[in-house]
Structure formats: structure tokens, C-alpha cells
Chains A and B, each alone.
Chain A
């Protein structure tokens, strides 16, 4: 009985903002690494991806 109610409780404001900012930070880091980082090795590996996502490149 108790198990069904646990996750239907909405996240508290604090938890929600914490999770949101955490997700934004990790996501931003990953996208930065794949799309913008100024490294020749990363650039060459992700070259076609950078062009096809329209990231500023070269």
C-alpha cells in the first residue's frame, strides 16, 4: 500500500531546483566537451557532429 504513494509525492522545491541545476551543469559540461571545447583531439573526433549540429566550428 505504502509503496504506491512514495513517488507520487511531488519533489520539494529545494530538491527540484537542486536536481534541475545539477542536470543543467552536467548537461552543459557534456555539450561543451562535444561541441565547443578548444582541443584538437576533441575537435577532430567530434568534427562531423559539430558541423551537423551547427556548433560554431573552425
Chain B
């Protein structure tokens, strides 16, 4: 039963990941590529230096993951080796940019699918075909829209505060938003709903880390288009994820 639940979540995530790859190609990826043309014109010294230090500090970590993944990869080890020694990190196993995106979408999709199923199990509120879209919408609220209030989706080349600070704020906001949404949506008591709203508002009152200098070589119009496109694409991803999770749960967990 447990294995089936987790498998259903995994399958839903993988399907949603494939869907997400197609959806991204429509609008989000072209905007990223467009922004990178401007990013290249910048003072430029920062970008390569940053990636280099990252590469040094993380060799151990990436090689473990790389070994696990290379065991599963259809690409030959020699080719993979070549890819890893490219300058500035390079894409795993020398895959094309698109394959890298597809792989990352599959991993992220499976991850979000499991997180959604995990939340449903812990809250004891099953995902079904009927409420799947709502589950997905709540996931999108917690993971994308609410954090985006403080840290909108960025294009390459946008100014931003320290990466570590932003990641901490982002994760904390998601955890608080999930807890808050649970209290607001699934609990009846008025007190719980009020505490939930406080939890949701708390990280925004505290404030997201902001860059000190907001000048950017990337046109603001591109940024606005990208923020809307990214949020719309992730909303579609989460609704697909929720509905497929609900369908698989209805189909294989109840009747089997």
C-alpha cells in the first residue's frame, strides 16, 4: 500500500515533468535565451569567476550524484567524462541543453509529486480526481506564488541578493506557507485560520533579501513577461500534477 502510494506519486510527477518540458519550450525558455543575449553584454567578469568557485567547492557532491546517474544513463561513460570537464561546469554527460532540461524536469516533477503525496498523507486528506486540481493549485500557491511575492522568478542577468540568503528565505516561506494553507483550508476552527494567515504573512513582513543595486542590463519588459510566463507555466504544471495524482489514486489505490 505504501509502495503503491509512492509509486503513484512518482508516476504522476514524471508525467507532469514531461508536460512541463513541453510547456516551458513555448514561452519560458525563449525568454531565458533572449535575456542571455543581454547578459553576455555585461561587465562579464563576474559570471565565469562565480561558476569556477562553485565548481571547486562542489566536486565531491556532484561526482557522487554523477556516478549514480551515469549508471542509469544511456550515454557512454567516456562521453559523460568529456562533458564533465567542460569549462564552467557544463551540462551533465555532455547532453544537449534540451535533454538537461528534460532530465531536470523529470527529477523536479517526481520530487514535487512525492512532496504533494507526502503532504496529503501527513495531513490525512487524500488526493482524488475531484480535488486534484485544488491540491495542485494549493501546491502552486505555496511553492511558487507566495515565495514569488518576495522573490519573483528571475531571468539570467537580473540583480539579486546573496544566493544563500535567498534560498533560506525561499525554503522558509514555502514551509510556512504550507503550514498556513493547511490551517486555513483544512481546519475548521476560526483560531486555526487566523494563525494560518499569520504564518502565510510572516515571511513577507520579515522581508525577502533584496539586492542593494537593482540596475540590470536585461530590459524590464522581458522580466515582466518572464515572471508572468513562469508563474502561468508552473500553475499549469501543478494542476496537471494534482489531477494525475488524483486519477492514479482513484484508479489504482481504491479499486486494486
Contact = CB atoms under 8 A, between A and B. Distances in A.
Contacts of B118: 19-25, 27
Contacts of B66: 41
B88 A44 contact: yes
* Chain A interface category by residue count: 35 or more
A25 B115 CA distance: 8
A52 B104 contact: no
Nearest to A18: B2
B246 interface: no
Contacts of B166: 56
A55 to B, nearest CB: 7
Nearest to A43: B89
Contacts of A27: 9, 110-118
B129 interface: no
Contacts of A8: 254
A45 B61 CA distance: 15
Nearest to A8: B254
B131 interface: no
Contacts of B231: 54
Contacts of B121: 11, 16-17, 19-20, 23
A27 B122 CA distance: 14
A2 to B, nearest CB: 14
A23 B9 contact: yes
Contacts of B40: none
Nearest to B171: A36
Interface in B58-98: 58, 61-62, 65-66, 84, 88-92, 95, 97
B70 to A, nearest CB: 11
Interface residues of B, number: 70
Contact of B122 (A24, A26, A45): A24
A51 B95 contact: no
A40 B89 contact: yes
B54 A40 contact: yes
B230 A24 contact: no
Interface of B: 1-2, 5-6, 9, 24, 28-29, 32, 50-51, 54-55, 57-58, 61-62, 65-66, 84, 88-92, 95, 97, 100-101, 103-105, 107-108, 110-122, 124, 144, 147-148, 151-156, 160, 163, 166-167, 170-171, 230-231, 233-234, 253-254, 256
24 contacts: A11-B121, A19-B5, A22-B6, A23-B115, A24-B119, A34-B108, A34-B111, A42-B62, A43-B89, A44-B100, A46-B108, A47-B97, A48-B101, A50-B104, A51-B155, A53-B230, A54-B153, A54-B230, A56-B151, A56-B163, A56-B166, A58-B50, A58-B154, A58-B160
Given A43-B54, A45-B103, 12 more contacts: A17-B122, A23-B121, A26-B6, A31-B115, A35-B108, A45-B100, A48-B101, A50-B104, A51-B153, A53-B153, A54-B152, A56-B167
